[in-house]
Structure 1
Amino acid sequence: MPNSKILIVEDEGVIAKDIKNILSFLGYSVIAVASSGEEAIEKAKEMHPDLVLMDIVLEGDMDGVKAAEQIRDSFDIPVIYLTAYSDNTTLQRAKITEPYGYILKPFQERELYTTIEMALYKHQVEKKLKESEEKFRAIFEHATDGMLVVDLETKKFLTGNTMICEMLGYSPEEIKNLKVADIHAQEDLPYVLATFEELARGEYTLAADIPVKRKDGNIFYADINASRISLYEKPCIMGSFRDITERKRMQDSLMESERQLRTLSSSILSAQEQDRKRISRELHDDLGQILTAVLLDISRAEKQKIFISSGSYNFMKRLRLILQEALQRVRNLSAILRPGVLDQLGLKAAVVSFLEEMEEQTGLKIIKKMQVHYNNIPESVSIAIYRILQEATTNIVKHAEAKQVIVKLRSDSKTISISIKDDGQGFNPESLPIDKGIGFLGMKERVEWLGGVFKIESAHGRGTNIYAEFPLSSRK
């Protein structure tokens, strides 16, 4: 590297001048010449050369080997020995100082140039590597996540940062004596070790929700991000541990709240169905029978002509029509609350009956595709399907402006499903106002409570398809 600053340490003046001329010819800048080890150290401290050419035998009490060692340790300046000595003892002493070259006198210019260039380049690379390692160490040590480096082969921890020591409750020295198996509970080891192998193979980089054991035996949960690195010439995994115990506790608490809310919702739905069934029965059996009895009395009175005047006869006729309408409304209301056909003849018959009545009342063209080959359908599932059908068709009549509806009811030995598809104006399910989405939310809750799947597919101008599927081995 031309213009690099070089310090010559040589006690022979003629040789030193010759070396200086050669270096200048090669394009280097000789900033000073020292004749003793002590002077070399002072010049290195004062002038900060890029490289030192060091003779071993020098004036004074300090030889070149000792001077080179201090220059390396104090100033991190590369040293090349330029000496006439090649005996084993000298070589062993020189080797300990980790020189960047060892040239024997007499030397060739090309040999000197090549050794200097290689030394300067090597030192530059090492300096950058050292800076990178220092940055890495600073980031590693001050990371807010716990950091561990694990030997891939032995699964032993090579190092850990301050945070992981705090997380686990071990000192840095103790960490280095631990293995992966030491920070996990025995019952979790098969899963943890399998996950470690998958991380080692690079199949994924994040292991989520991993139970980790502290020194005191308590467990915390961590998300572990892993990456493969090389440390001390060993293949390793560096794991970043983020404590998610509090997040997991909150998630578990939220899930428990949702479970309780579902349980409450299901209890309310069940209570509603029981009340509907009771009210339907009372309307049908009590009020319906009373109205029927009154109608029979009026009919008998009309036939026996007890009422003589034409005015009274016309009054009875109007009264009979009013009572007949009232009785029909009671029956309709009873059927809406709890269709008797659902309890008496089953789901398929109830669906067909409802759709035929809907078709007659609204003029909608309803295509019915009934493929129910399994009769042992849980009551809770039958009710849910019937209520979804009621809600969906009511929405179609009110909002869809549809001309045709296709209703499919299918079952096998494992599942039963219903789909209600219309050719109406459709809507965007994502932007549905809350007040208009309550009905869909109710359908979804019914289905999910029974362990099923609920879907809505709709778009402007493309109609709407509502789909619900239930397991027939319902737990409700």
Structure 2
Amino acid sequence: MSEIALYQNEIGNSLRRVVENTERESKLVQSIIDASGSSIVIIDEKRSIVFVNRAWRQFANRTGSLNGEYGLGKTYPEISCGIVSTGPKDAVALRDGIKQVIRGEEIEFEMRYRCTAVAGPMWIAIHASAFLRSSQQGGRLIMIAHDDISLNELASADSRKDEQRFRRLLETTNIVPWERAAGDSRFAYVGEQITDLFGFSTEQWKQDDFWTSRIHTDDVERVTAEYSNLSPLADHFRSEYRMIAKDGRVIWIEDHVDVVREWAKRPTMHGFMTDISERKHAESITKDLSRRLINAQEEERKRIARELHDDLNQRVALISIELEQVAQTAMQNPSALSGRLGSIKQKVSEISNEIHRMSYELHPSKLEHLGLVPALRSFCSELARSRAIKIDFQGGKLPESLNRDITLCVFRTAQEALQNASKHSGAAEVKVTLNATEKQLELTITDEGCGFIPTHEKMTKGLGITSMQERIHHVGGTFKVISERSRGTTVRVTVPIA
């Protein structure tokens, strides 16, 4: 259309002379207009065609609806409305638009329509504008330019079909597409999936401020600011926030938004909402577990420090005092020296054993060098001796090439379960069995102690059972605790090895 406007400015005066039949200038202007790629006709106030260019003659040949004069002398609506194939409504709109320009009610008129042609349907865009004849002849002439926009229309149609196919594809997922003007809280379009996600109809989401009203109160100020205060340069942003469903559920949303900007138009936003509630829940569990693991590490450090200070340190101090006494006794009563030294030796041996036990709890070296069964048997023996409890360990033959992660996982789980039993069950005996089938390891630890309720809040929040569960699940195994008050406890673990 800009090309036609330029032609109109440059040759308007010359066209007047064409109509006045100035032969030399008429030929000049004819050649100028013939150079235009648009199909141009000029009509008078009676809507009769008084001038056509080369492109119009070629267009007439393509439509096959004009005689050898290419419409000269005929009324323009008679010709043009006859080739409009998009229905009588477009034909009437074309006739009325031209009439308004002739009457001076409008400066120009534009429309597009589909017309018939020899080679098949084609899309035409027209632009009509008026100019005056010379003062001698007076009257008004209308220049009408026609452009073939079939390729553009086909491309637009393909684009619309692609968009429709994409939207239908999205409607089969839990991703919610939406569109709205920048700074507007009312959706111009939103996918049907939003009804399944939140429980509200698509029409409700197209109401003013409905989207804002469903944002969680702790997020609404931040989110509305993000969507309202768009950077003049940013064309994409991502936001995470909570929304309230119709049934009161809190749903976490991840929204990917593209900002589309066009010259002299209000920016529009196109987005895709995704329900990330499960991911947020998993992140919350991970954070909570990390926090509890850190707390457990601190508790373990405190325990080791306490044992070093309250037990080993005091025992070493007592040995130091006893050595001073031995030194004094040696001078006064040498015959008593042997007995005192034997006592000190026994105490040093006990301290050595305690240091060895603590070291073994922190890192079981026997597990690496001897394997799972010998390491667990050794641990049971040492724990039974230090806690004055009977532990009956039965270990079967295990595959030689067990994965290190599996052996460490099973050992730590048995270690935790046995320490719990020795500390809390009150049982005089604990039975441990470790066997292997072709497909899995099987560990069972049983006591006939006081028992407990596995689902009790103290147990679910404590890290003992949780850490064992996490360890076993990490290697793809199953962990089960069977316990009742006054009926003992059984821990059953299976870990796949094939």
TM interval, shorter chain, is: 0.3 to 0.5
TM-score when normalising by structure 1: 0.45
